Chain A
Amino acid sequence: MKFTDTLQETYSALLSNKVRSGLTVLGIVIGIGSVIAMISIGQGAQNSIESNIQALGSNLIIVMPGAQRGVGIQVSSGRGSATTLTNEDATAIEQGVGGVQAVAPDLSSRYQITAKGTNTNTSVDGVTPSYSQVRNITVETGDFISDQNVKSVSRVAVIGPTVRDDLFGEGIDNDSVIGQTIKINKILFTIIGVTKAKGGSGPSSQDDMIFVPLSSAQKLLVGSERLSTISIQAIDQGSMADVQTQVTDLLLQRHNISDPTKADFSIMNQSDIVSSASSITDTLKILLGSIAGISLIVGGIGIMNMMLTTVTERTREIGLRKAIGAKNKDISTQFLTEAIVLTFVGGFLGVLFGWLASLLITKFSSIATQVSSSSILLAFGVSALIGIVFGYYPARRAAGLNPIEALRYE
């Protein structure tokens, strides 16, 4: 039997029961569609987290107070209990460690910010001028925090574009924001600059931030000399490991700690952060994908159910086909083709449906999604596989029917 004939038989067989074929296909559409949509959410989350991390700066090493146990997990990291990093540590690193491009100590805290009746709650970061270099921050209008600002404990602030929009309304131009005053923790600060948008969303976005001089944050806002992080930029990728070792040794020595496992600080470099973040998002993707995969299996069982019903219903037809010369292989090919065509149509519609769903998710929520070509290929492969797996048993059953008994079947 020729392939085109098989397809034609399949076409007329599936169309002869449109409702049933349609409902069966719907099961696959939902399965494939949700796999595509779920994986696109996971992929989108991974991309946005990775771009947030890359936006932090390049060749970056970050020192945090508190001991670290395992990647990404800090014990006793609350700033109230671990106030082990000081301005002096930062100065010592800058002066005593080779291969360092710049050192940027900072103190970060969340405050309620008010301006002319509007208010927002955001992260206020006390920084030195080198922070803009280390953390890759560009000022779009005005100036960044200067050495002079830090020395004189100035009440000046550089705001991110998200903060600008939150406080002054969307669409306001930067020039009219410069010189305005905002209240951070009830203390007046004058805006001297607005940073350029970096993209990214969520609490780690660097667009939703206010920068003030480090000294102002320590003396006026927090009231303590401590630091929340020291960001160190190595001169190049190759010297990062060396810098990390030197910084560790220096800080252990400065803090009088002989046992490195009892260090009161932790050091992470950028690739650690990226890998720990992607291990989280990978888990997320697997979780979402497997939830969707379950619905795909349910869809596959729907196919098998329909095919078994069809085989029973068409027993006499199978008997006739055998009587006029169809071989077992012809019969099994026909039923297997029906199952595969069902899943393939379902797979195709499912990809469209999943794509549409992920576009809608991006449009109506803050989650950026990304449909990858690999997930489309995967979905198509899986749907064809489901057709074969769940169509195989019914097809075998049809082919194995005895023609005499099949012709007698009532």
Chain B
Amino acid sequence: MIECKNISKTYSDGEVTPVLKNISFKIDDGEFVAIMGPSGSGKSTLMHILGALDTPTSGKYFLDGIDVSTMSDDQLADVRKNKIGFVFQSFNLLSRATVLRNVALPLVYAGIEPLEREERAKKALVQAGLDESRFYHLSNQLSGGQMQRVAIARALVNNPSLILADEPTGNLDTKTGDIVLHTFQTLNQEQKKTIILITHELYVAEHANRIIHIRDGVIIEDKKNDNKRFVHHTHIY
């Protein structure tokens, strides 16, 4: 469970720029939430705080009941390792490594044995819907949609409490973007994964169950998504 209490973030680069102003919300386990807002709205900064990449200037952030907002760099690294899976717009795969090695990379830092790493990486890849024939390909031999699914598998492999997807469809065409969004929906429905999707597109946000709308550092709307979009199986597989 995620709880943000009065989170503010200011950057003081010569002059003080407030980016997030007193933001509070809760996300329960198993929710699929979209955080939506235009560029400069503060949604990326919020994502960094939720992802334990950064700490707020003031306010509290609890992840599974643990206060993350005042942690040191190494403690934050442990939180990221154990509780958070990231999916980035530009995939961020190691191009010279195989698909399996990319997916197993978080387990390397978690100190898991090689055999178990491989087993868990394969399981995560199946969950993310990548065809088994691609497991030993180098990641730069894949299409964009396949790369993003490898990235999703990498985010799943540590069995995190929270999957954070930052504009996951931004580098993909609509069709492959739909496939990726469908993957998130499946993970949420069938595996009860908590997913936070950060996007600036309403179309993408409408695939989630709840939309938090943010603008100029404040939440302007936080409500259940009533007209949820579903991607039809027929044009995916």
Contacts and interface: CB of A to CB of B under 8 A. Distances in A.
B53 A16 contact: no
B96 A16 contact: yes
Interface stretch (A49-57, A319-327, A365-373): A319-327
Contacts of B92: 316-317, 319-320, 323, 407
B82 A325 contact: yes
A99 interface: no
A278 to B, nearest CB: 54
A1 B82 CA distance: 14
A287 interface: no
Q: Of residues A5, A12, A324, A328, which shows the largest number of chain B Cβ atoms within 10 Å of its Cβ?
A: A324
Contacts of A12: 96-97
A142 interface: no
Interface in A326-340: 326-330
Contact of B77 (A2, A322, A404, A407): A322
A321 B77 CA distance: 10
B81 interface: yes
A403 interface: yes
B110 interface: yes
B65 interface: no
Nearest to B106: A324
Contacts of A323: 51, 53, 80, 86, 92
Nearest to A330: B109
B218 interface: no
A407 B111 contact: no
Nearest to B164: A323
Interface size on A, as a range, is 20 to 34
Contacts of A328: 73-74, 77
B88 interface: yes
Nearest to B77: A327
B77 A326 contact: yes
Contacts of A5: 108
Interface string A106-150: 000000000000000000000000000000000000000000000
Given A323-B53, A328-B73, A404-B48, A317 B111 contact: no
Contacts of A327: 73-74, 77-78, 109
Given A12-B97, A330-B109, A407-B92, A324 B53 contact: no
Contacts of A316: 92
B73 A321 contact: no
Contacts of B106: 324-325
Contact of B111 (A1, A324, A403): A1
Nearest to A314: B94
A404 B86 CA distance: 12
Given A1-B108, A330-B109, A403-B53, A324 B96 contact: no
B54 A407 contact: no
Given A12-B96, A316-B92, A317-B94, A326 B109 contact: yes
A78 B82 CA distance: 87
Interface in B55-110: 73-74, 77-78, 80-82, 86, 88, 92, 94, 96-97, 105-106, 108-110
A325 B96 contact: no
A404 B54 contact: yes
A2 B51 contact: no
Interface in B27-71: 48, 51, 53-54
A322 B109 CA distance: 10
Given A326-B109, A327-B77, A407 B97 contact: no
B200 interface: no
A314 to B, nearest CB: 9
Contacts of B82: 325
Q: Of residues B51, B77, B81, B96, which shows the largest number of chain A Cβ atoms within 10 Å of its Cβ?
A: B77
A404 B53 contact: yes
Given A1-B109, A2-B111, A325 B88 contact: no
A325 B54 contact: no
A317 to B, nearest CB: 6
A407 B73 CA distance: 16
A325 B109 contact: yes
A324 B103 CA distance: 11
B154 interface: yes
Nearest to A408: B44
Contacts of A320: 88, 92, 94
A319 B48 CA distance: 13
A323 B166 CA distance: 13
Contacts of B158: 324-325
A257 B54 CA distance: 92
A408 to B, nearest CB: 9
Contacts of B53: 322-323, 403-404
Interface in B104-152: 105-106, 108-111
Contacts of B78: 325, 327
Interface of A: 1-2, 5, 9, 12, 16, 316-317, 319-330, 403-404, 407
18 contacts: A1-B109, A12-B96, A316-B92, A317-B94, A321-B105, A323-B80, A323-B86, A324-B154, A325-B77, A325-B80, A325-B158, A326-B77, A327-B77, A327-B78, A327-B109, A328-B73, A403-B53, A404-B48
Interface of B: 48, 51, 53-54, 73-74, 77-78, 80-82, 86, 88, 92, 94, 96-97, 105-106, 108-111, 154, 158
Given A322-B77, A407-B92, 8 more contacts: A1-B108, A2-B108, A319-B92, A322-B80, A324-B86, A324-B105, A324-B106, A325-B77
The 3 closest A-B pairs by CB, nearest first: A325-B81, A324-B106, A320-B92
